[in-house]
Amino acid sequence: MPTLTSPIYAADWLKYEAGSDYSRDTALIAAGSGQLVSGTVLAQLTASGKYAPAAASGSDGSQTAVAILLKPVDATSADAPAVIVARHAIVSHAGLTYGSTITDAPKRAAANAQLKAAGIVVREGA
């Protein structure tokens, strides 16, 4: 019997954003980031200004969560244009997808604190 999976929608995690698209920006997701789903926590790479999934550690900017991907993109083999939530928003932790190295509660809490510094409040159970 096939397994049914439901895609992640922005409504699954985005609970509030400012009007007139104030909370959103356009961005370029760096090639090699793979297929990313809505709700992926992103970092901005220092050298290029492009975005990639946030990582637990690093020195290239990937270690600092600053935004969340609004709609799915495929950046497996080429840079991909995207819309991100970059400020003034409230999100539910339940719908967020973290980078592959953010694997436990303390690392998720650190990423959530970084998002808060960017103006994105992550709420448990919201």
* Domain CATH number, residue 18: 2.40.300.10
> What does the angle CA 79 – CA 98 – CA 105 come to, to the nearest 5 degrees?
160
Contact 57, 16 (CB under 8 A): no
Name the residue among 23, 33, 37 with its Cα closest to residue 71: 37
Block residue for tokens 């709420």 = 123
* Helix-, strand-, coil-residue percentages of the chain, each rounded to 5: 15, 35, 50
- Whether 90 maps to a domain, the answer reads yes
Q: Is pTM, for the whole model, over 0.75? A: yes
Which residues of the chain are modeled with pLDDT < 70? 1-4, 126
The residue segments making up the domain with residue 78 are 10-123
- 123 forms beta bridges with 92
- Whether 2 maps to a domain, the answer reads no
- Whether 109 maps to a domain, the answer reads yes
- Whether 29 maps to a domain, the answer reads yes
What is the distance, to the nearest Å, from the Cα of residue 111 to the centroid of all Cα atoms in its chain? 10
- Whether 25 maps to a domain, the answer reads yes
pLDDT value, residue 100: 93
Name the residue among 2, 5, 121, 1 with its Cα closest to residue 68: 121
pLDDT value, residue 126: 56
Contact 83, 73 (CB under 8 A): no
- Whether 3 maps to a domain, the answer reads no
- Whether 1 maps to a domain, the answer reads no
Total number of domains in the chain: 1
- Whether 22 maps to a domain, the answer reads yes
Name the residue among 65, 50, 49, 47 with its Cα closest to residue 102: 65
pLDDT value, residue 124: 87
pLDDT value, residue 30: 98
Mean pLDDT, rounded, of the chain: 94
Cα–Cα separations (whole angstroms), residue 113 to 29, 34, 117: 22, 25, 6
